[in-house]
Structure 1
């Protein structure tokens, strides 16, 4: 009898312990991947504070029932009705990707409401709450409204797809070590997850001529490349700075196969990657330099000559096929430079319009209602003339035309104010509603784990906001893929934006909200490096980083 009583008692104690161990109920829509991502980050943050969280669907939400966290967006009328009945403070005016956090209490019941303008806003609100929990605890969460300061916050990724589809600086060690990583879903999953947490929302993939590795053009089927290859050549120290000569015989005739893939395999891979990006509010763009035909090997009479009608047709069909093949591709862009020697400005823009612009317009006719972005880099080109030439693109209701401009040339860490843009800004201000994204190019800080929030905050706030759609941060002389230099590496090796997490996080976070305080950054450091004086670490890290600027 005593033994049976003890058994029952132990069961009751266990049940009681279970109740005590799970004091927080977290409600979210399991069909919304952005909300699910944030919910799991919240659960992990609570676990670090010895709070376990029960994850539940929104349909199970009951008003005033213990401690609750609710993730939803404005379109959920049921949740909005419950929030109204909770008598919480009125939500702020939310823009795309914005969110409100509200805390309502009655008796011993507390509900933390994360209400997004859309699924992206819900995700960012959830990530904000998770961070507050991680650095200060759940009870430190307060009412807050946030909207993105810069709408587009991206990375510049010179993507080394293959020796036959190189980027601008594929001769460097960083690129050669990362060709295989570009075909690893594990890499992209970790990279995209990190970008979402840092509040970046797009990746611009830069390549000389990516089409043979990404699509099969019906009119030019033999251009598509199978397998992923890397050259085994003994690389020289210096190569042409215009991107030419990367298809020299000594390079492309001595190769190794890194991964065997058909073009259908490659398409399936990149569809999966782009779909995953969409699930984290991270869009993909492909941007090219011109005119490069690496990987063509003389097929179909395609050359790098601007007056070759076959070349024009091939590029137009390739651009169209990119959008047809990838439903989650957000945009495409180009530079009319690097390899257009002897071509007049007018002829360069004629070529760009006949190829890239017409390809996008072809898609718009074939898929009415599909929203696309067209990026024209203002480099070796004039803004006003470009605007006139591309007026059909600019005027199209389904196409957003934006410029790209080198804001700090190649040296984003040179100063918080830059002198290069006033003339360009004046030009596009006079053309109505034209906008630009800014190239924030870092060709200086690769190995140093840089981190100075005051510099980044001031830099971003000095960018002319009225003509800005956003920015993208990256390098031409380095590939921010998976690191390859650490002497005692983790396994697998860290991806660069995780190794350099502090630098990348502040460029994303302060682009979304430049009011993020130094106190918050100090708290983040404390949560990550609990065994050091975080105030001293913050100051030392910032001052050491400012040696360069």
Structure 2
């Protein structure tokens, strides 16, 4: 029997970890007759541990319950990998590589109090889930297993759904509501809840405000029992949910009632939830931009946190100010006298982390700003909503290149998709948590950000345990499939999610046009490469080719060839691996994702080549043979896209995506893939 002993043995996180280990050993038919002694040592690093194998037992030494929990979880996985064999497990000393390892969750609380992702199917479906305690228990368990210790909840206007404000009691909303009317918001987040949506409201759960507040206290207590801190982030300035109140609140920072409301709303939130670890803010997206934005944030959010700390001097609270829509020096100036922990949030790879393993954006920023302020990095993953990702080497290199000495932590997540349950998959009607479906991606980023030195064998054995096949082989195929998008985005770059969605080759044409657009051959020719990503763009490469100049960078044709090789390798391996694979099982669904990515890679490879040839012809019309090559390639591309779109639609439902303000169906773009041929022929 698996037994634990020691002064921390009864702590909730330790009990959770021990229970998971017993469950894993039982499921793996491994040896469960093992004792583990827990030794408390204040000299150990925070949340780290030492693992020692002794005669007939193990000893875990840690300074806190988080370290004990992670030590037990890691030991448990190693025992499973070795089918219960303790002799193969080596001693370990672990210090967390990154202190705070978080998830960014745009939370759809209610149609009346939306988040930034709420104009989407994923958010609509997730509203009932976020008011289900079992959902959060499973979510937090998964986070702890994957070694995340921060849950950040992001909302445009969370207060009416989460707290009763003594000074503004009539803003508190009863019940949880959805609307049958689809929001048609602006990019700023404005019009996310409108008068017509009010007419379509219906309840999904009956709850009083007292019940809501008790619910979120329970969620935060569950998080604490998994050594997870909860943070609340807002975009500004929105007062959704207060429309029916008598207080004349408006999204105007110059309205003194609004300013007073925001201050007291934050105070009430902090007082109601003593386990809330911090507040994050944006001086945008719907503020005046007249030089008073950051002052407003300081006088409302900042003052509320400051006054809370005065009333509770022993409480630890972080205040995190995002860089979006804000000037860094102004932020520092306004918060210079802030008495608590003050930090800055920065988009490390803009909206597309699956690109360069060493993005330049922060290094460029820090060269211009001499500061000792700590930073949080937003790791925006708006590249993968459907397909399972798994590239161990990419994750390790990306994390190793981070300026860890400047960091407090990171939060990983999307703006265009809600990381609740998966409602896209046609085959899996159990609607697993998104982070469970994407378990390997989440596990890689969580495990490696906790322990960057984890050996490759640890991960390949985990794949063997999960899928019952050669882990090294599967890891290699998965890596190649995952490299297709990250490699392509080095030469085809857009900063923001609405500008480019790689799984569907489309974007939103920004207002005033505001329409969904397929990225046609003209867009491929005009698109820039990733700044300092080591690649030359299509148009610059074409110019060099025509002028006979040498190119000291990776070329689009080299990128196209690399992607083609990845795609061909993946298709070949998937064809072999799926033999005898049961339809709908976990391995089958993974292999189908890989196949889809390979089809997409084949399309991107040939279309990139076509863009190069057509751009060369544009630069020198005498090279008509290049135009002919482009047309031929685009005819192939039309077939590639139809293969991709029909295959994807077998496995995934088309979705309404908030940042594209549209319903996105891959087969809808079949005609546009064909029209690329005419675009090229008629230039």
Verify same fold: TM over 0.5: yes
* Alignment partners' CA distance in 2, 1:72 and 1:258: 48
Alignment partner of 1:101 is 2:101:
no
- Equivalent residue for 1:120? 66
Q: CA deviation at 1:403?
A: 0.6
Q: Which of 70, 78, 95 matches 2:37?
A: 70
Are positions 1:40 and 2:16 aligned together? no
State the partner residue of 1:366: 311
Distance 1:295 1:128, change over 3 A: same
Secondary structure at the counterpart of residue 152 of structure 2 = strand
Cα distance in 2 for partners of 1:242, 1:255 equals 23
2: CA distance, partners of 1:318 / 1:232: 29
- Alignment partner, residue 472 of structure 1: 411
Judge conservation of contact 2:50–2:61 (CA < 8 Å) in 1: yes
Match of 1:60 in 2: none
Measure how far apart 1:375 and its partner are: 0.6
What is the CA–CA distance in structure 1 between the aligned matches of 2:276 and 2:179, rounded to whole Å? 29
Deviation at 1:427, TM superposition (A): 5.1
Could you give the per-residue CA deviations for residues 332-367 of structure 1, whole angstroms, max 9, x where no partner exists? 1100011013x323x111100110000001101111
Report the counterpart of residue 26 of structure 1 in structure 2.
4
* Whole-angstrom CA distance in 2 between matches of 1:178 and 1:45: 29
Matches within 5 A, 1:24-423: 24-28=2-6, 29-48=8-27, 50=29, 53=32, 67-74=34-41, 94-105=44-55, 110-136=56-82, 137-233=85-181, 235=182, 239-297=185-243, 299-341=246-288, 343-345=289-291, 347-393=292-338, 396=339, 399-423=340-364
Taking the aligned partners of 2:193 and 2:458, their CA distance within structure 1 comes to: 49
2:438 alignment partner in structure 1: 500
Q: SS of 2:87's equivalent?
A: helix
**Which secondary structure state, in structure 1, belongs to the residue aligned with residue 321 of structure 2?**
strand
Q: Are 2:263 and 2:300, in contact at CA under 8 Å, matched by a contact in 1? A: yes
Match of 1:19 in 2: none
The structure with the largest helix share of the pair is 2
CA RMSD for the aligned pairs?
1.6
CA positional deviation for 1:239: 3.3
Q: 2:452 aligns with which of 514, 531, 548?
A: 514
CA contact (8 A) 1:383 1:427 kept: no
Residue 534 of structure 1, CA deviation:
1.9
| 1:482 to 2:425 alignment | no
Q: Please name the residue that 1:90 is paired with.
A: none
Q: How big is the shift at 1:114?
A: 1.1
Name which structure has the greater RCO, CA cutoff 8 Å, separation 6+: 1
Partners in 2 of 1:47 and 1:370 — Cα distance? 41
Maintained 8 Å contact 1:384/1:427 = no
| 1:538 counterpart (459, 468, 475) | 475
- Tell me which residue corresponds to 1:12: none
Moved more, 45-54 or 513-522: 45-54
TM-score, length-normalised on structure 1? 0.85
**In the TM superposition, what whole-angstrom CA distance separates every residue of 1:78-129 from its partner, at most 9, and x where no partner exists?**
xxxxxxxxxxxxxxx6311000001122xxxx22001122100000001110
In the alignment, what sits opposite 2:467? 529
Contact 2:45-2:62 within 8 A present in 1 as well:
no
Secondary structure class of the residue paired with 2:139: helix
TM-score normalized by the length of structure 2:
0.69
Would the aligned equivalents of 1:35 and 1:72 in 2 still touch at CA under 8 Å? no
SS in 1 for 2:69: helix
Q: Structure 1: any 5+ residue segments left out of the alignment? A: 1-21, 55-66, 76-92
Q: CA deviation at 1:528?
A: 1.0
Q: CA deviation at 1:382?
A: 1.7
| Matched residue, 2:658 | none
In 1, distance between residues paired with 2:389 and 2:398? 15
CA shift at 1:42, angstroms? 2.0
The answer for unaligned runs of 5 or more in structure 2 is 487-683
Give, in whole Å, the separation in 1 of the partners of 2:193 and 2:428.
33
Superposed CA deviations along residues 212-255 of structure 1, whole A, max 9, x for unmatched, are 1111010000000000000111x37x631110011211112211
**2:354–2:485 contact (8 Å) kept in structure 1:** yes
Output the CA distance in 1 between the equivalents of 2:36 and 2:458.
Answer: 22
Q: Partner of 1:63 in structure 2?
A: none
Deviation readout 1:286-336 (Å, 9 max, x if unpaired) = 100000000111531211111111111111111111110001100011000
Contact 1:383 1:424 in 2 (8 A): no
Contact 2:44–2:61 (CA<8 Å) still a contact in 1? no
- Measured after TM superposition, the shift of residue 423 of structure 1 is 3.9
Kindly state the Cα deviation for residue 49 of structure 1 after the two structures are TM-superposed.
5.1
- Is the partner of 1:335 in helix, strand or coil? strand
CA distance change for structure 1 residues 427 and 279 in 2, over 3 Å: closer, same or farther? farther
| SS at 1:200 equivalent | coil
CA shift in 2, pair 1:195/1:25, >3 Å: closer
CA distance in 1, matches of 2:200, 2:62: 53
CA contact (8 A) 2:30 2:80 kept: no
With over 3 angstroms needed to count, the CA separation of the structure-2 counterparts of 1:166 and 1:540, relative to structure 1, is same
Q: Is 1:46–1:138's contact at 8 Å kept on the other side of the alignment?
A: no
Instruction: Please report how far the alpha carbon of residue 402 of structure 1 lies from its aligned counterpart in structure 2 after TM superposition.
Output: 1.0
